[in-house]
């Protein structure tokens, strides 16, 4: 049972202390995705709270930036250890907020952020040293105060990706977590306090995007604004930040393709692709939601995909038997069901559909759904659905497969399956995305993560994610 104090948060974390909101508002309610009941509450912050947090971060910046890389590295390792002590609570809470199954929450929602923090601690020791270019010394320096606006689908991991990278670089941070799933951000603040980081280095203000998010984006005291979320909101955030010429880093939407070429063994390629598409009930920006397959093999692909989907037992996220939990909110459930209904008019439904799964009158559940004979120009192939929906799209050879993969406004991730290494690498290089996995290559938490086109600007994680929060200075002599 989770301590009620972890679910009923009444204060922001500003300047190294838990402080009451500047204005008296009703708290924001956090919903249990499994049944729609109230899970917890957090403060509904204001622009005044953002002002206080930015002031605290600006005051803390000079001393934090002046620390040696080894001192900042040690601090991040202390945060990792303190967060590890809170891992069970964080995992359970995220499962209920987001709908992630317990097994995936343990391994990905919490386990991955712990690995990422360790990666940032190491990266802090390897920030590029000064370079000599002719009569110029080129130095890399902390950018300043970072505003971090994080999403609800991987709430702790995305926050760690921003705050960890910024702190490793020598920056200070003001964070606004998503209102749908903010509670793990408060657990991270608990860990940072327990780790003894200096006051003001990390600050947390919860609240609505329209108020707190906008205030953070428009604040003249923010040097870098890092946002993860939808492409539409990312464009609004960038426009707001442009008022102060604030540098932005955006990790946005995706409609990634898993491309199967004609020489590969289908079983593993299809199984891995389907499970990737349905990870976290499809609430993953980098999910391979388009499965691009040889036309002659489509019917066999459908058979394998259905056999995989049939094993994705829908259920309560904390039930060990569950393989597919609910979506995070009623709004998300409604949006996904609308897309499925459109798909039933656009393509051939081969599994699932827009009807509710049996036995789940409450909560935000959606059946895993697969469409075949999908036209890549259709809405379900072009728009990010963010739910357990897979589009199978037939191709007519390597060039056609790559054309389909690239025929998208997005460019975040993807996969290539091919027995010939040279052919696979050529296809991977031709697909215009920020990440491509060949034959199921494992996710690498120290590799740069981000996208092309409408999938965003900049990169997160690892050394390159740390350097995203730095500025270059040329000193001539």
* Residue whose structure tokens are 């964070």: 175
Is 278 within 8 Å of 390 (Cβ atoms)?
yes
As a whole number of angstroms, the distance between CA 453 and CA 412 comes to 8
pLDDT at site 327: 98
pLDDT at site 361: 87
Set 285, 391, 418, 467: catalytic member: 285
Residue ranges of the chain that CATH labels 3.40.605.10:
4-252+455-476
As a whole number of angstroms, the distance between CA 356 and CA 409 comes to 30
Question: Is 322's pLDDT higher than 60?
Answer: yes
* Alpha carbon separation from 175 to 53, 172, 265, 400 (Å, rounded): 9, 10, 45, 43
What average pLDDT is seen over the chain?
Answer: 97
> Is 171 in the active site?
no
Would you give the distance in Å from CA 416 to the centre of its chain?
A: 22
| C-alpha closest to that of 99 among 272, 293, 308, 333 | 333
pLDDT, tens digit, 9 for 90 and up, residues 75-133: 999 999 999 999 999 999 999 999 999 999 999 999 999 999 999 999 999 988 899 99
Mapped to the 3 state alphabet, what secondary structure does the chain carry?
CCCHHHCECCCEEECCEEECCCCCCCCEEEECCCCCCEEEEECCCCHHHHHHHHHHHHHHHHHHHHCCHHHHHHHHHHHHHHHHCCHHHHHHHHHHHHCCCHHHHHHHHHHHHHHHHHHHHHHHHHCCCCEEECCEEEEEEECCEEEEECCCCCHHHHHHHHHHHHHHHCCEEEEECCCCCCHHHHHHHHHHHHHCCCCCCEEECCCCHHHHHHHHHCCCCCCEEEEECCHHHHHHHHHHHHHHCCEEEEECCCCCEEEECCCCCHHHHHHHHHHHHCHHHHCCCCCCCEEEEEHHHHHHHHHHHHHHHCCCCECCCCCCCCCECCCCCHHHHHHHHHHHHHHHHHCEEEECCCCCCCCCCCCCCCCCEEEECCCCCCHHHHCCCCCCEEEEEEECCHHHHHHHHHCCCEECCEEEECCCHHHHHHHHHHCCCCCCEECCCCCCCCCCECCEECCEECCECHHHHHHCCEEEEEEEC
pLDDT, tens digit, 9 for 90 and up, residues 335-363: 999 999 999 999 999 999 999 898 898 99
Q: How confident is the model at residue 1 (pLDDT cuts 50, 70, 90)?
A: low
As a whole number of angstroms, the distance between CA 303 and CA 264 comes to 16
Q: Which long-range contacts (CB under 8 A, 24 or more apart) does 230-239 make?
A: 230/384, 231/384, 231/409, 231/410, 231/454, 231/455, 233/209, 234/456, 237/149, 237/213, 238/457
Percent of the chain whose pLDDT exceeds 70: 100
Decide if domain 257-445 falls under CATH 3.30.1520.10: no
Is 466 within 8 Å of 160 (Cβ atoms)?
no
Q: What is the mean pLDDT of residues 403-415?
A: 98
Model's pTM, two decimal places? 0.96
Length of the chain: 477
Residue ranges of the chain that CATH labels 3.40.309.10:
257-445
Neighbours of 20 (CB within 10 A): 12
> Is 251 in the active site?
yes
pLDDT, tens digit, 9 for 90 and up, residues 39-86: 999 999 999 999 999 999 999 999 999 999 999 999 999 999 999 999
Q: Please state which CATH class domain 4-252+455-476 belongs to.
A: alpha beta
pLDDT, tens digit, 9 for 90 and up, residues 260-274: 999 999 999 999 999
pLDDT at site 3: 82
pLDDT at site 175: 98
pLDDT at site 358: 87
Set 251, 346, 384, 467: catalytic member: 251
What are the phi and psi torsion angles at 453 (to 5°)?
50, -135
Structure tokens of 293? 């397959």
Structure tokens of 130? 């000064």
Average the pLDDT over each of 117-131, 150-164, 319-333, 430-444 and give the range with the smallest value. 117-131
pLDDT at site 356: 85
């Amino acid at each position: 049972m989770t301590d009620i104090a972890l679910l009923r948060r009444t204060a922001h974390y500003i300047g190294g202390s838990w402080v009451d909101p500047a204005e008296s508002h009703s708290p924001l309610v956090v919903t249990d995705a499994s049944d729609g009941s109230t899970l917890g509450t957090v403060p509904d912050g204001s622009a005044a709270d953002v002002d206080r947090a930015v002031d605290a971060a600006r005051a803390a910046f000079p001393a934090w930036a002046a620390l040696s890389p080894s001192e900042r590295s040690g601090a991040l390792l202390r945060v990792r250890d303190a967060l590890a002590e809170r891992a069970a609570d964080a995992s359970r809470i995220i499962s209920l907020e987001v709908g992630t199954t317990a097994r995936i929450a343990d391994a990905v929602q919490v386990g991955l952020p712990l690995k990422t923090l360790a990666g940032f601690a190491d990266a802090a020791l390897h920030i590029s040293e000064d370079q000599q270019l002719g009569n110029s010394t080129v130095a890399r320096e902390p950018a300043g105060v970072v505003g971090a606006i994080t999403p609800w689908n991987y709430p702790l991991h995305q926050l760690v990706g921003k705050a960890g990278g910024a702190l490793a670089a020598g920056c200070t941070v003001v964070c606004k977590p998503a209102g749908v799933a903010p509670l793990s951000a408060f657990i991270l603040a608990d860990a940072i306090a327990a780790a003894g980081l200096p006051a003001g280095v990390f600050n947390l203000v919860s609240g609505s995007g329209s108020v707190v998010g906008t205030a953070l984006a428009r604040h003249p005291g923010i040097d870098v604004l890092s946002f993860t979320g939808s492409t539409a909101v990312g464009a609004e955030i960038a426009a707001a930040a442009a008022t102060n010429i604030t540098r932005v880093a955006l990790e946005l939407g995706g409609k990634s393709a898993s491309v199967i070429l004609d020489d590969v063994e289908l079983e593993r390629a299809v199984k891995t692709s389907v499970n990737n598409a349905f990870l976290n009930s499809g609430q993953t920006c980098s999910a391979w939601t388009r499965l691009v397959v040889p036309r002659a093999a489509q019917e066999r692909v459908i058979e394998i995909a259905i056999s995989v989907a049939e094993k994705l037992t829908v259920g309560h996220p904390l039930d060990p038997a569950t393989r597919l939990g609910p979506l995070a909110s009623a709004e998300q459930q409604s949006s996904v069901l609308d897309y499925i209904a459109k798909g039933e008019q656009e393509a051939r439904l081969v599994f699932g559909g827009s009807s509710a799964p049996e036995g789940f009158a409450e909560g935000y559940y959606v059946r895993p759904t697969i469409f075949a004979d999908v036209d890549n120009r259709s809405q379900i192939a072009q728009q990010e659905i963010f739910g357990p929906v897979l589009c199978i799209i037939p191709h007519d050879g390597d060039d056609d497969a790559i054309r389909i993969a690239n025929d998208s406004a997005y460019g975040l991730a993807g996969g290539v399956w091919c027995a010939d290494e040279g052919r696979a690498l050529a296809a991977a290089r031709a697909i215009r995305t920020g990440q491509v996995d060949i034959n199921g290559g494992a996710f690498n938490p120290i590799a740069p993560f981000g996208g092309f086109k409408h999938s965003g600007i900049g990169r997160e994680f690892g050394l390159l994610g740390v350097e995203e929060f730095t500025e270059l200075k040329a000193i001539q002599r």
